[in-house]
Amino acid sequence: MDGAEKPLNSLRYNNEMSLFVAVDIGGTHMRAASYTSDSLEPLKHNKVETLASEAGGFERLLGVIESIWPSGESVEAIGLGSPGPLDPHTGYLLAPPNNPEWHNFPLAPKISEHFGVKAYLDNDANLAGLAEYRYGAGQGHHHVLYLTISTGVGGGVIIDDRLLQGYHGLAAELGHSIVEPHGEICSCGFAGHLEAYSSGTAIVKRFCSELEAGSRSSLKRGDEITAQSIAEAAMAGDPLANQVYQRAGEYLGIAVASFLHTFDPSIVIFGGGVSQVGDLLFKPFHASLQNRVFYPRYLEGVTFTNAALGDNAGLLGALALARMMSGK
């Protein structure tokens, strides 16, 4: 009704020119990019080192956003992704890892105030899941389970085309699901979480403790031992390295069985560096999952796949959030 009073050309022009800014705050870099309302190709993009433990992080963040700010155009919203815990409802960072400056920090409100544009915040795993749903492997699905398997394990869940956030905005912390109640201690300090079994950190920790206990391996104490080097050893036939990935895959299967019983998704998408190892992790995963799903219909027509967006998932997730909150 309102639109009828404006010239049609002006409406079209405004619509085409509505722009979005996406910001991905990672452990090593803060990245920012600007986009039109219908493209995934950034107009401008830039990055700067995060240096989380050094002062002046917020100023560095403002600088990188300003460097990609589209001149003379109107930005509709800014999307921000960061490691949690954080509150997407208020836009506050609560306790980001290694960054005491940003504890209980009103990130989205301050960014919004500085640029005079609405700003929205959510955690990196939720946003990677949202990005895969909107632009990646999950397109066309309405019920998506995304898991990132990296240093930690994170989750992002889409239910009926909506991002699961929860009352405090802390939902979908699937890496902290309890899979072995009296088991390994997680990086968070609590016992038996999925992350304590299937993350890159857990794989390295298990491998090293078996090595210490006298297990034989082609990798020796003093070698650089990473999830990647263990994977390479496993593929070259190292029994200990294989056994450690076998265990990570088994527990991943146990957890995902419970997630299927819980969310009943039509697609399960794996992102993160550790998910790149392929069969080494996913063969034991699928064997375990098959043994654990209690009713076969949960698996009917369900796709298991790798994430499609790679390193861009963070920025594209922040973009997806900004567009979603603007109804686009």
Residues near a second copy (CB under 8 A) are: 85, 94, 142-143, 159-160, 162, 164-174, 176-181, 186, 188-190, 193, 251, 254-255, 257-258, 261-266, 292, 294-295, 297-298, 300-302
Nearer to a second copy, 189 or 214 (CB): 189
Nearer to a second copy, 48 or 302 (CB): 302
Q: How far is the CB of 173 from a second copy (least distance, A)?
A: 4
List the alpha helices (DSSP H) in the chain. Answer: 8-16, 57-68, 107-115, 124-135, 195-198, 200-212, 227-235, 239-263, 279-292, 313-325
Nearer to a second copy, 172 or 319 (CB): 172
Q: How far is the CB of 52 from a second copy (least distance, A)?
A: 19
Which residues on adjacent β-strands are paired with residue 193? 178
Question: 132 and 52 in contact (C-beta within 8 Å)?
Answer: no
Q: CA geometry: angle at 55 spanning 127 and 199, to 5°? A: 40
CB atoms within 10 A of CB 261: 13
Q: How far is the CB of 160 from a second copy (least distance, A)?
A: 6
| 54 alpha carbon, distance to own chain's centre | 24
Calpha distance 149→13 (Å, rounded): 42
Q: To 10 degrees, what angle do helices 200-212 and 227-235 make?
A: 70
Helix (H) or strand (E) holding 119: strand 118-123
Q: How far is the CB of 251 from a second copy (least distance, A)?
A: 8
Q: How far is the CB of 286 from a second copy (least distance, A)?
A: 16
Q: How far is the CB of 266 from a second copy (least distance, A)?
A: 4
Question: 47 and 32 in contact (C-beta within 8 Å)?
Answer: yes
Nearer to a second copy, 48 or 170 (CB): 170
Nearer to a second copy, 95 or 235 (CB): 95
Calpha distance 70→68 (Å, rounded): 6
Nearer to a second copy, 20 or 92 (CB): 92
Calpha distance 279→76 (Å, rounded): 43
Nearer to a second copy, 159 or 235 (CB): 159
Calpha distance 325→323 (Å, rounded): 6
Residue 23 in 3-state DSSP?
strand
Q: How far is the CB of 287 from a second copy (least distance, A)?
A: 14
Nearer to a second copy, 78 or 289 (CB): 289
CB atoms within 10 A of CB 148: 27
Q: How far is the CB of 280 from a second copy (least distance, A)?
A: 21
Amino acid residing at 210: E
Helix (H) or strand (E) holding 147: strand 144-149
